[in-house]
Structure 1
Amino acid sequence: MHLEERQFEDLPESLSPTTTTRRSSQDDERPTTRPSSRTSVIAAQPTLTDTALPSPFDTNLGNNFTSPACPAFFNDFLKNSTFKSCLPISVLLRNSNSFFIATKNLVTITRTLDASCNADFRVCSALMEELGAKITDDAFCGSDFERENPMVIQAYEGFLAYQPLYQAACTRDVSGSYCFATAITNRSSISDSYPYYLPVGVAWPGGARPSCNECLKGIMRVFSDFASNKTQLIHETYQPAAQQMNIACGPEFINTTIPVKQNGSSDLHVSSSSLVTFVALLVTVFTLLL
């Protein structure tokens, strides 16, 4: 088993970072010898240096593109100094081996979050919006987007989810620790990291049971605000996830309603339970009038 495969084996396939494995022609020439029972083979775990920060798409981009303009677009934004300074968690989450390595260590992931959360939110939001528009343009990656190239789709989803994931990943608990850092390094409950994948369109895994704590409440409140925006992927993933969380944590632990704004009016909260109550009330009134 390759080292990369061992790193990602504790995550569901839908949550694992995108990787590109290249096979050397020399692999076919190597003898397939088996080490003796006395031999101990220990693969060295990759580490980040003290100053290095993760970067997205840090494996080979490959050549699975229909237009040369698309990989050129990737190379351009990956070299962009403003993009680098933003260190977007939403883009790193599924598309960075170095970020996955950083999540193995509380100190390293905290340093990464410090850099990401200290970025200029306004500037970075504008940049992600611009990149999200460009990547769907035919002049850049439009044809690959239409063909649902996984790398292009995940980049687009990362650009789109920048704001909700910035706010969620930068949420701290009462002790001052990042909720994300605590969740992602909790190897005894890997479900704690699953909520952070909701804004990039990953549905809540069936049967997953997160820790029912204030951090979970806090980040789901953040996501609830963005779920009212139908252009955000969290609009589709929020409510089913909240309902599953309440099965584990109690019926009122997470608000399952989605605030809906209509023509600038105040928020209207709509949920399946409220609709049932409303219908029952109408039936009662109609019966009394007969």
Structure 2
Amino acid sequence: MRSYRTRKDVRKVLMWTGVVFFVIVSIFPLVEALLSSLKPPSQLFSRSSSIFLPSSVTLLHYRELLGGTRFLTYYFNTTVVTFFTLALVIPISALAAYGLTRFEFPGRDLYRRLILFTYMLPPILLFLPLHAVLTRLGLVNSRAGLIFAYTSFCLPFGMWLLLAFFVGVPVSLEEAAMVDGATRLSAFFRIVLPQVVSGVVAVSVFVCVVCWNEYLYALVLTSSAEMKTLPVGLATFIRMYTIDWGMVMASVVLTSAPLVVLYMFVQRHLLKGFAGAVKG
């Protein structure tokens, strides 16, 4: 009995050691970027200064970033594209997943399988035909074109994830509501949708992360500086012969901050969301 407890304690210690090591490795780059962004230029590569803590704090890199570059333009473009992509993906994927779980029609099972297949296609295979379509529509080098492109490959994942949640909601709940006089649509919004909030949050976080970090489509579909998003715009800070590392670190901090805050607020729903998808 004692040997069993000893082995159990050893496994627990090893597990928590691994967790702590993983957390440190994960947050170290962001912490180092934050500290480097606060260091004066003379201390960034100085061996005499502390590796981690700056001896003096300065906001010079942030002032140069916000006042001397198009960073705020990139930030605005990324925010607009993310918001409207989210506004399209969530209602469409929720209604589509609901329809696939509640209505019988020819080819339904095949369509459900094809949803995940379309998401598994490498994005590099799709950007050329998508670029041709957007060119004909006159949406190249525009925020609307990026919203259209991001919606096209965020929708399949959103529908696939929400399918598992709607399958887990008993049909009897909405049937009881419709017996009491509710319409199909009101039963969906008042009865079914509150049961899948965790799934909606998980899809929302996924869409935000994809739109915020996506580089390939933004690079191909935008040409003017006024339309560039954060990943493409920040890449211009790295020049051939000179790199302003202080400004780069400041841009990393400001770019990562919204996603970090988002994870902090929705992590509980996010864990439930992916756990529910696995069960489904």
Higher helix share: 2
Same fold (TM over 0.5): no
User: Of the two, which has the highest radius of gyration?
Assistant: 2
Relative contact order, higher structure (CA 8 A, sep 6+): 2
- TM-score normalised to structure 1 length: 0.28
